[in-house]
Structure 1
Amino acid sequence: MSTVIALALSLVNAAQAHELRPAIADVSVGADEVSVEIELALEALVAEIDVSEIDDTDAAPNAARYDALRAMDPAALEAELRGAWDGLAENFLFSAGEAGLRPAILSVAIPEVGDLDLVRDSRITLSAALPDDGTPVTIGWTANNGPLVIRQVDAGDDAYSALLDGGEVSEALPRQGYAAETAGSVFWRFIIEGFEHIIPKGADHIVFVLGLFFFSLAVRPLLAQVTAFTVAHTVTLALAALGIVTIPASIVEPLIAASIVFVAVENIVRPQLGIWRTVVVFVFGLLHGLGFASVLGELGGGQTHFLSRLIGFNIGVELGQLAVIAVAFVLVGLPFGKRDWYRSAIAIPASLVIALIGVHWVMDRVFDLGFLGFVPFL
């Protein structure tokens, strides 16, 4: 039992669920100036919270400062930003060739104070003068600010877009035209993006797949569930990416967490493969596809390489899910799967742990209680 719990908790600890949303930067490169409009949680930037270390601002050492900024009206928060800008500007990794650029604030748009339990998405527009040597521009920010989506605007349908993490910077963006990508490079990049969306970033998807794994080690039940889940999330991923289906994350995310609870509880009370289990997994796969689509949509991009992005991302997601199953099979299935006590000592306790994790996420995403926030892996 301890091995199973350690496996489940270590996988969750190594990943992040969807609470941390990346900032989104739209980049426009001109002949003598680059401008970047960033949508972000401005309070976290001003409070200098290291979001690479946490996924809940309540756990930050400067959480009180963050909360105070959240309660400020737009004018006061903008004054705080401008007053701290000399230091904050060092976090932005702008360069032209080998020359570093120091961005200045062009404009700030901050919504009025609303529900303090919800993130307030502000927009800041930055600009930097470019040297007259014609060198291309790279954009990024330091790792402590978290993930950053870069999108080149005023460009063609095959223009560059990427999700940067860990202090990465963009590809070189030319001053004339745009950084076009080939179908092959887009396909490969989105395979990586899809895989990373599961490992290490998709804790809820990892836990759901483990719920499918602990239902049964037999090939037929596992194959039936994985196939139903794959077909379903492929459908909604495509529909959502095309803009045909749109459901707010505030609805999708709690339902994804609820799906984790359901499959785990059914593992315990009704471990029989039938049309019901397959249909349930299919329906939950539709929900998870909507969750995947939110990331795919943030990465932007036009229609030129739409299929490359969609198929590549989906393949990456599948490879990530298969990797989770493979690790679980090697660590649990092979050494213990044929033991008489496997179900009572491993599958049921593991499913119980998964159900508890799912319950926590449901409560946190619906009510923002964070009542188990003191538990490191949650």
Structure 2
Amino acid sequence: MYEFGLYFGRIRAILHVFFLVGAMACLGLGGTRSEAHELTPTIVDFRTVDTQIAMRIRMNLEAFASGMDLDTVVNTESAEQAAQYQALRILEPDALGQVAAEFAQTWLPTVEVEAAQPLTLRLEGVEVEPVGDPELPRATFLVVQADLPAGANQMTLRWPEGAGGLVLRQHDVEAPYTGFHLGGETTPLIGLLGGGQMTPGEAFAAYIPIGFDHILPQGLDHILFVLGLFFFSARLRPLLWQISAFTLAHTITLGMATLGWVTVSGAIVEPLIAASIVFVAVENIFVRKLHLWRPVVIFGFGLLHGLGFASVLGDFGLPSEAIVPALLGFNVGVELGQLTVVAIAFGLVGFWFGKHPKYRGRVAIPASATIAVVGAYWFVERVFL
């Protein structure tokens, strides 16, 4: 009976690992690029021109027009409307422009803008990028205007439910408003003449969920790297050394890249991030003891991951008067996301099986091998495909 129980325990451990890591591998290998199908927030840049509000809305029109609920969908390939999305994705700009104009007629009224009274948004033009690589998302721009009533000096915008994340950015005023909102949320009152810049405390709090969201659920490559650190050893001390080195490094380059002090092409960074996943996973298989070089190498890989994080903030933008608090908030969100990944892995695997004498052979090595395969595929894909 004891032998049966032990055997069953081993099988259960392996099933847990492959549920956690294998599912991620299938998700990663299912697309031609690991991040090509992730949804990014819509960006609305607005300014006051004479007696009008002018907006330029940068959006993934194909995702909107196919009927995806962008509050819940993370990856276009996993959505029920994936086929409709791909059909729209390959349309030529003129054809997609017609779709965009028809879509805007019914969608713009759901974007509720008030400035002393409800405003009527009208479509003034559509700009569509070329098809390009059909595996990569393209941007469509809706040029929108609305007439302001006399004496209006403040506005609010309610972002419709199902529209996903919104980055709202004000231009051509002092202390412009910059904010991130989710579907169904309403902005605070925004001064049309400026002065709506977030306070340091508001910026810090607002950017925490942005950083967290970049890890869970959107940062699959970062998740696999953290899992590679986790499966090196079931003991706490090696994990703390590795995560500390990784955190310090990506904090440095995140700040430097976001402030414009360092610029490295994504064509270089993304393959190297994939290579970092392969390295930590393969080393898990062949190395048992935490040597000095591993935290040093992980520190170097953390510098790369920080550059990857910075590319996210490039889309969101940072409030000019609260750059440092916003950066800190984003970094806190990233750390909370990473710790959540570790906590989930520990709860599913480490807590139950970490002290078992066969943990390394039955759990850590198979999991690391799976991670290495995914990372290697991504490296080849990002360099050659």
**TM-score w.r.t. structure 1 length?**
0.83
Tell me the residue number matched to 1:314.
331
Mark the CA change 1:83 to 1:323 in structure 2 (over 3 Å): closer, same or farther.
Answer: closer
1:274 is aligned to 2:314: no
Tell me the residue number matched to 1:373.
none
**Alpha-carbon displacement from aligned partner over 1:187-225 (angstroms, at most 9, x marks no partner):** 222233323322333232222111101101233322221
**Alpha-carbon displacement from aligned partner over 1:41-75 (angstroms, at most 9, x marks no partner):** 33333444444454454555555554454444433
Tell me the residue number matched to 2:42.
23
* Counterpart selection for 1:142 from 153, 157, 160: 160
Q: Is there any run of 5+ residues in structure 2 with no aligned partner, and where?
A: 1-13, 29-33
Deviation at 1:99, TM superposition (A): 5.2
For residues 59 and 280 of structure 2, the distance between their equivalents in structure 1, rounded to whole angstroms, comes to: 35
Tell me the residue number matched to 1:6.
19
Deviation at 1:13, TM superposition (A): 10
* Structure 1, 337-346 or 133-142: larger mean CA deviation: 133-142
For residues 378 and 181 of structure 2, the distance between their equivalents in structure 1, rounded to whole angstroms, comes to: 26
- Aligned alpha-carbon RMSD (Å): 3.2
**Alpha-carbon displacement from aligned partner over 1:216-236 (angstroms, at most 9, x marks no partner):** 123332222112111210111
Tell me the residue number matched to 1:77.
96
**Alpha-carbon displacement from aligned partner over 1:93-136 (angstroms, at most 9, x marks no partner):** 23216954442112322334433333332322112223447373
Tell me the residue number matched to 1:375.
none
- Note if contact 1:12-1:207 (Cα within 8 Å) is conserved in structure 2: no
Tell me the residue number matched to 1:103.
121
How many residues are treated as equivalent by the alignment? Answer: 366
* Counterpart selection for 2:342 from 303, 312, 325: 325
Mark the CA change 1:303 to 1:176 in structure 2 (over 3 Å): closer, same or farther.
Answer: closer
Deviation at 1:237, TM superposition (A): 0.4
For residues 294 and 304 of structure 1, the distance between their equivalents in structure 2, rounded to whole angstroms, comes to: 20
- Note if contact 1:93-1:169 (Cα within 8 Å) is conserved in structure 2: no
Mark the CA change 1:239 to 1:209 in structure 2 (over 3 Å): closer, same or farther.
Answer: same
* Structure 1, 3-12 or 258-267: larger mean CA deviation: 3-12
Mark the CA change 1:101 to 1:349 in structure 2 (over 3 Å): closer, same or farther.
Answer: farther
For residues 74 and 267 of structure 2, the distance between their equivalents in structure 1, rounded to whole angstroms, comes to: 17
For residues 341 and 283 of structure 2, the distance between their equivalents in structure 1, rounded to whole angstroms, comes to: 20
For residues 185 and 166 of structure 1, the distance between their equivalents in structure 2, rounded to whole angstroms, comes to: 19
Three-state SS of the structure 1 residue aligned to 2:363 is: helix
Deviation at 1:9, TM superposition (A): 5.9
Deviation at 1:86, TM superposition (A): 1.9
Q: Which amino acid aligns with 2:241?
A: A
**Alpha-carbon displacement from aligned partner over 1:156-195 (angstroms, at most 9, x marks no partner):** 3x53323333443433322232412211221222233323
Deviation at 1:24, TM superposition (A): 1.7
Mark the CA change 1:320 to 1:41 in structure 2 (over 3 Å): closer, same or farther.
Answer: closer
- Note if contact 2:254-2:306 (Cα within 8 Å) is conserved in structure 1: yes
**TM-score w.r.t. structure 2 length?**
0.82
Tell me the residue number matched to 1:41.
60
For residues 63 and 279 of structure 1, the distance between their equivalents in structure 2, rounded to whole angstroms, comes to: 42
Three-state SS of the structure 2 residue aligned to 1:139 is: strand
Mark the CA change 1:88 to 1:350 in structure 2 (over 3 Å): closer, same or farther.
Answer: same
For residues 348 and 83 of structure 2, the distance between their equivalents in structure 1, rounded to whole angstroms, comes to: 42
1:128 is aligned to 2:141: no
Q: Which amino acid aligns with 1:42?
A: L
Three-state SS of the structure 2 residue aligned to 1:26 is: strand
For residues 22 and 50 of structure 2, the distance between their equivalents in structure 1, rounded to whole angstroms, comes to: 51
Residue pairs, 1:202-221, within 5 angstroms: 202-221=219-238
For residues 328 and 57 of structure 1, the distance between their equivalents in structure 2, rounded to whole angstroms, comes to: 26
Tell me the residue number matched to 2:280.
263
- Note if contact 2:197-2:321 (Cα within 8 Å) is conserved in structure 1: no
Identity %: 44
Deviation at 1:264, TM superposition (A): 1.5
